[in-house]
Amino acid sequence: MIDGLVRILVFQGIGEVIAKFVIPLVPGPVIGLVLLLAFLVWRGAVPEGVELVSATFMRYFGLLFVPAAVGVVLFWPHLQRQALAIAVALIGSVVATVAVAALLAKLLTRSGTDAP
Amino acid sequence: MRPDLPAIHEIWVYLSGSPLLALILTLAAYQAGVMIYERTRLNPLANPVLIAVTLIALTLAALDMPYATYFEGAQFVHFLLGTATVSLAVPIYKGLPSLRGRFLPLTAALLGGGATSIVSAVLLARLLGADETIVGGLYAKSLTAPIAMGVAERIDASPTLTAVFTVTTGILGAALGRFVLDAVRCREWWQRGFAIGVAAHGIGTSRAFSVHPEAGAYAGLAMGLHGVIGAIVIPWAVSTLR
């Protein structure tokens, strides 16, 4: 497991350095993700350690953003005052997004070459 | 009272100055959230993150502990977000074969859905008079939370508000998704899953997995691809349009 963690941390490190000095607009971990993905495609398989670490992270993904989300207490009065606008924007947007994504996938499959 | 034991307030002063208290609080609240989520048979409204955040916020208020003090301890959990983001490469890699033969509909759904999520949220919020702090937190809300927060830092938006809007979006997408999909008469599992993954990232994905394995696989792929493409396109688009 440690070998997998080392590999992932190294890719994160390279990503952070590239984000700092070359592509400041993209978050470092995302650059690390793309590099690790390229490495996996090149290698043609997922090393056992990397697989294990990734599965563990995926299982407890939610826990990791709890500390930041608790920061909502700082915005509480702000959020209360604009609750209606926020609720309408979030609900409207998620409904529109699901509808548009589903319709595009459906319509382009029918007109595409791989229709059943 | 035995004289060799420190008074209770001394123990408290010691504990509240150490990162341990915030760590225990974070892990225990999340554990409680997971237990409630499992008791309600994985009802999307009983989301473990939402429950954990509520419990911690109430505890901080009761203890009169400032958020900054809490975060000093909880930052050890927070730090792992970046590492977890990198390890998202594994599920994306495994989902790549699913793209074969469906590249066009899936790419269109991803780009169209991604653009819709931002434009609709920003327009609706502005229309109803939300201020720029709130609107800034809406840009990255359909990306998976760790990437969304990284993007928020890049576009000078609040990572905290982004995290909260992201989690809420995931919960809403997981709860409302099937009604929307039925309304637009989308019946293929892979299309349903992918649409949920584009709109509602990780929370939608775990919902999709609990409904159908094919829907789950495509939702996971959509979440990963949306995260990567969003992280590249959103900061660039926002800085160009500003």
Cα distances (Å, whole numbers) of residue A60 to A9, B49, B50, B77, B91: 18, 10, 14, 11, 15
User: Which residues from chain B sit within 8 angstroms of residue A61, using beta carbons?
Assistant: 84, 145-146, 202
Best B24, B77, B79, B87 residue to mutate vs chain A (most A CBs within 10 Å): B87
What pLDDT does residue B3 have? Answer: 59
Question: Is the pLDDT assigned to residue A112 strictly greater than 50?
Answer: no
- The DSSP letter of residue B6 is P
CB-CB neighbors (< 8 A) of A16 in chain B? 82
- What does the pLDDT read at residue A115? 44
B75–A67 C-beta distance less than 8 A: yes
What per-residue confidence (pLDDT) applies to B6? 72
Mean pLDDT, each 10-residue run in order, chain B (242 residues): 68 74 93 93 84 94 90 89 91 88 93 95 94 92 89 91 91 91 93 94 84 89 92 89 72
**Per-residue pLDDT tens for A48-74?**
999 999 988 888 888 888 998 898 888
For B86, phi then psi, to 5°, come to -60, -40
> Does the structure show a pLDDT above 60 at A116?
no
Q: What is the DSSP letter of A46?
A: -
Mutate to test the interface with B, among A46, A66, A78, A109 (most CBs of B within 10 A): A66
Query: What pLDDT, on the 0 to 100 scale, is given for residue B42?
Result: 78
pLDDT tens-digit profile of B152-206? 998 999 998 998 899 899 889 988 999 999 999 999 999 999 999 999 988 888 8
- Residue B20 has a pLDDT of 87
Q: Is the pLDDT of residue A113 over 90?
A: no
| CA distances for B103 relative to A40, A42, A114, B98, B125, angstroms | 20, 21, 10, 9, 33
Q: What would the two tokens of residue B225 be?
A: 């691809």
pLDDT score of A111 more than 60:
no
Distance CA A96, CA B180 (A): 9
pLDDT, residue B241, reads 76
Q: What is this model's ipTM?
A: 0.88
How many Cβ atoms sit within 10 Å of the Cβ of residue A7? Answer: 18
**Nearest Cβ partner of B57 from A54, A72, A92?**
A72
Find the helix packing angle between B48-63 and B159-183, rounded to 10°: 150
Q: Do B116 and A97 lie within an 8 Å CB cutoff? A: yes
CA angle, A34 then A38 then A40, to 5°: 115
- Residue B92: Cβ within 10 Å count: 20
Return the number of CB contacts < 8 Å for A and B.
Answer: 327
Residue B156 corresponds to which tokens in the numbers above?
A: 């000078």
Residue contact B60–A8, C-beta within 8 A: no
